[in-house]
Chain A
Amino acid sequence: MQAPRAPFGRRPAAVLANRASGGYRVVSLLDREGTEPVAGQFYMLAAAERWAGSGGRPYLPRAISVAETGPAAAGLRLDFLLDDVGPGTGRLGELEEGEEVWLTGPLGNAFGEPGELAGPGAAGAILVGGGVGVAPLALLRRRFSERGIAHRVLLGFRDEEHSGGLDLFCSAAGALCPEVRLASEDGHAGHRGYVTDLLEAMLAGDDAGSAVVYACGPPPMLEAVRLLCADAVVPCRLALESPMACGYGACFGCAVPKPGGGYLRLCVDGPVLSGEHLAMVPEAELARA
């Protein structure tokens, strides 16, 4: 799947809505000129006003994955799932209807489809999301659903406060899609434990051996997914996050180690990478994440 290209430069986008989604926020923007994004792509976002808040931050735009999109009057609606983890996501989560946001994108690559990644015999897809990282999987799930690609969805959260976005995985009637299974570390929803417990059980059973795994979430979760998939010889596509100043290859800040040495730039080489293109993450780094 070819990822669509961004118009050159940043452009203003109006805030259409900002609503709570569990412990997160869903901010909807009106993009008047961009092409429709595919799952995995992201945008650089900065509030047009009051971006430099208290203490001179935020300063840089923030890279946020698109969670859902659809037609809107005079353009395209883009939905972003936000967890308030710092001054940038905090300000974006406070955006009010009618405010303007500077938008650059869609940027980065696509998750791709199972047939492209594992050949025509691929049994389907397993989507694994953790925390606010469930966002790009919402768009991916809808696309797979529309294209008749078999898929199962595993979503995990730390606790109730740090969970949300489930409404992005709901039918029009508001019910959680039947293919979604939940895990939570505090046991408030679904399996008590890690979402990777569910993946491990799934990969050990049935026909998952010919599936493709798609994952987005915190670094320790992604590393666990990568190892489980390597053991099961299942291809995996991981959407990573990295500190990123520009999103278009200018700053070289979002370096991700390659196996055998050197670095990828996550913004232009990713953000979705295949498991075999990633170097082992040192345990110390996972502990810090």
Chain B
Amino acid sequence: MPELCGIELAHPVLNGSGTYDAIAARRVFGNALLEEFPFAAFVSKTITPQPRAGNEPRRIWETPAGMLNSIGLPNKGLEGFLAEDLPQLAELPVPLIVSAMATNHQDFGRIITALDEREEVAAVELNVSCPNVHSGLIVGENPSETLALLAALRPLTEKPLIVKLTPNVADPAAVAVAAEEGGADAVSLINTLKGAALDRRSGEPALAAGHGGLSGPAVRPVALAQLRAVRVAIGLPIVGMGGIASGADAAEFLAAGATVVAVGTENFSDPRAGSRVARELGYEAVPVAAAPSH
């Protein structure tokens, strides 16, 4: 039986944060979602201290074997999450990992303290792909910022802390080492790669934000290279992700040293991709949709 930081899992497939809204999916598909929940643990969309509306459209753009997004972390804020979303996410049949982000240690600490009090929350994933307003540096791009953040947050909870690493650095292993030194329980990688596209008709940036994050099968080789580099640098469990669309893809990540894997962009094409990938990995009990008849 796979496990992550002491959390027992029915199979080794999670979702990437921000690639599955279990509350919306239940509205769309009904309780069938709960009966055949695709993931062994559910990772929430990132929550922030205050509510966010998200970025102005256009937010997504298809690219070769992938897509760019600049969604902008729309969420109800910590209070809205605790009051409205958490009770619904607690009804899911799997452990809940909450993704959180803030732009200073105090706000981040407020989220961690609030989540620490909720037994529905099995673990917290720290989204560090954001600037620290005091230093102006992207926390996850800088080992010392990452170490300082962990030093501030680690004393606040005994729940597992998972650091989501950004691939937009020269040396992701150095950041992973800092996370380990700071007391993280696991790391997850990769987040999206910074990318841009132009609308060829207008010559203008395709996304309203100018650039976004690249995901999908196009990023898989980058993810595997970074996973291998991080694997030899730290001893912590690793949640491996980046363009996983099949069991064979997931097996590559597990062979490269991932403890468990996460499916992200493939969820958009296949709402049951998580259980399909688990089944293709050999977890026979996982229910999946019918294959094409030919």
Contacts and interface: CB of A to CB of B under 8 A. Distances in A.
Nearest to B291: A12
Interface string A52-90: 100111111100000000000000000000000000100
Nearest to B216: A59
Contacts of B21: 249-250, 252
A245 interface: yes
Contacts of B216: 59
Interface string B252-294: 0000000000000101111110000000000000000111111
Interface stretch (B1-9, B28-36, B161-169): B28-36
B232 interface: no
A268 B29 contact: no
A243 B293 CA distance: 30
B143 interface: no
A248 B59 contact: no
A104 B271 contact: yes
Contacts of A10: 269-272, 289
Nearest to A253: B60
A12 B291 CA distance: 7
The binding surface of chain A is classed by DSSP as loop
B64 A9 contact: no
Nearest to B60: A253
Contacts of B65: 52, 56-57, 59
Contacts of B36: 8-9
Contact of A255 (B19, B57, B291, B293): B57
Nearest to A86: B62
Interface residues of A, number: 45
| Contact-residue size bin, chain B (C-beta under 8 Å from the other chain) | 35 or more
B28 to A, nearest CB: 4
A46 B273 CA distance: 15
A264 to B, nearest CB: 11
Contact of B53 (A6, A8, A263): A263
B29 to A, nearest CB: 4
A245 B60 CA distance: 8
A46 B57 CA distance: 24
B218 A56 contact: yes
Contacts of B30: 5, 8
Given A12-B292, A56-B218, A248-B271, A5 B28 contact: yes
A41 to B, nearest CB: 11
A252 B202 CA distance: 24
B188 interface: no
B59 A107 contact: no
A74 to B, nearest CB: 11
Given A10-B270, A243-B60, A245-B268, A100 B293 contact: yes
Contacts of A44: 269
B59 A8 contact: no
A48 interface: yes
B67 interface: yes
A148 interface: no
A61 B29 contact: no
Contacts of A250: 19-21, 24-25, 267-268, 271
A145 interface: no
Interface string B33-68: 100100000000000000001111111111111110
B28 A248 contact: yes
A61 B269 contact: yes
B60 to A, nearest CB: 4
A119 interface: no
A265 interface: yes
B27 interface: yes
A199 B218 CA distance: 47
Given A9-B270, A59-B65, A252-B74, A243 B53 contact: no
A240 to B, nearest CB: 11
B69 interface: yes
B71 interface: yes
A121 interface: no
A-B pairs with the 6 shortest C-beta distances?
A: A249-B24, A56-B64, A253-B60, A8-B32, A246-B268, A9-B272
15 contacts: A8-B29, A8-B30, A8-B272, A10-B270, A56-B66, A57-B62, A57-B63, A100-B293, A246-B268, A248-B29, A251-B69, A253-B60, A263-B54, A263-B57, A288-B202
Given A9-B289, A10-B271, A255-B57, 9 more contacts: A12-B293, A56-B63, A100-B292, A245-B268, A248-B25, A251-B69, A251-B71, A265-B24, A288-B202
Interface of B: 18-21, 23-25, 27-30, 32-33, 36, 53-67, 69, 71, 74, 202, 204, 216-218, 265, 267-272, 289-294
